[in-house]
């Protein structure tokens, strides 16, 4: 099962991602790593550009240093991160799980990171289309899931500050007043996506368990024969 979870900060994509990972471990027997670990590649949102596992010795320093890069060099670095995860090992694994990936760049880079605006070099909206085409060519079974909530819900959650990953949210560039814009941009990119397998989950009035059950119900029709075989073998 190849997954991309996308959405505004505080919509619940990481919280749901943890629950999806737990559920998948129960279905297939793979090891579950509880927070602060997360079994998604979730290192595309500046300044959080270092993978959680195996990089603890430089994570803090690197995420300080990334903020000092000029926008041109940051664009290069982010492009490297995005394209690296199209590598053969990832593409052939059958279980490439990403949060935001190149969709995050399409939304956040023009707003906060100083590059990728429409009409500029490396326009991230245009690159999103290019990367969608690459996904459909190399990993056509990839499932895109938009996690969303109302602007008022986003602002309320941000004000309350309850999170499984408090350090991430403490350093985020996302601003509450941008909730409407960011939600709208993720919705736009989702609706224009070229990825065939996709659905959305609105977490506004749902518990985490309810959102997980919605995911399980909706993902069922998108599972591959290999996914189903893994689940049947374990169960």
What CATH number does the domain containing 188 carry? 3.40.50.300
- What is the reported pLDDT for 221? 96
Write the CB contacts of 54 (distance below 8 Å, at least 6 apart in sequence).
Answer: none
- What is the reported pLDDT for 164? 87
DSSP state of 45: B
Divide the 235 residues of the chain into consecutive groups of 10 and give the mean pLDDT of each group: 97 96 92 85 92 80 93 96 95 94 97 95 96 97 98 96 81 92 98 98 97 98 93 81
Assign 59 to helix, strand or coil: helix
Whose structure tokens read 């880079």?
109
Please give the residue range of the domain that contains residue 116.
3-234
Burial call 53-77: b when 16+ CB within 10 Å, e when fewer = eeeeeebeeebeebeebeeeebbee
- What is the reported pLDDT for 163? 87
What sign does the dihedral 27-31-171-108 (CA atoms) show?
negative
Assign 67 to helix, strand or coil: helix
DSSP E strands in the chain: the ranges are 3-6, 97-99, 143-148, 197-202
- What is the reported pLDDT for 89? 94
CA 217 to chain centre: 20
- What is the reported pLDDT for 235? 67
pTM: 0.95
Q: How far apart are CA 10 and CA 44, in angstroms?
A: 16
Whose structure tokens read 């079974």?
141
Counted domains in the chain: 1
Q: What is the DSSP string of 188-210?
A: HHHHT---SEEEEEE-TT--HHH
- What is the reported pLDDT for 39? 87
């Amino acid at each position: 099962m190849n997954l991309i979870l996308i959405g505004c900060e505080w919509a619940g994509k990481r919280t749901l991602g943890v629950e999806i990972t737990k559920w998948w471990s129960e279905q297939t027997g793979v090891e579950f790593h509880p927070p602060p670990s997360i079994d998604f590649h979730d290192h595309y949102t500046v300044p959080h550009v270092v993978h959680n596992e195996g990089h603890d010795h430089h994570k803090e320093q690197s995420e300080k240093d990334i903020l000092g890069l000029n926008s041109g060099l940051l664009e290069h670095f982010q492009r490297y991160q995005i394209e690296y995860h199209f590598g053969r090992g990832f593409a052939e694994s059958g279980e490439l799980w990403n949060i935001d990936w190149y969709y995050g760049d399409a939304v956040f880079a023009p707003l906060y990171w100083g590059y990728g605006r429409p009409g500029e070099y490396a326009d991230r909206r245009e690159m999103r289309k290019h990367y969608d085409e690459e996904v459909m060519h190399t990993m056509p079974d990839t499932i895109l899931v938009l996690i969303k909530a109302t602007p008022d819900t986003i602002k309320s959650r941000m004000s309350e500050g309850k999170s499984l990953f408090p350090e991430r949210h403490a350093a985020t560039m996302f601003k509450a007043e941008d909730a409407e814009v960011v939600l709208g941009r993720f919705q736009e990119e989702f609706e224009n996506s070229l990825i065939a397998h996709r659905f959305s989950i609105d977490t506004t009035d749902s518990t985490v368990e309810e959102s997980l059950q919605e995911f399980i119900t909706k993902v069922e029709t998108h599972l591959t024969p290999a996914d189903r075989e893994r689940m049947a073998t374990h169960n």
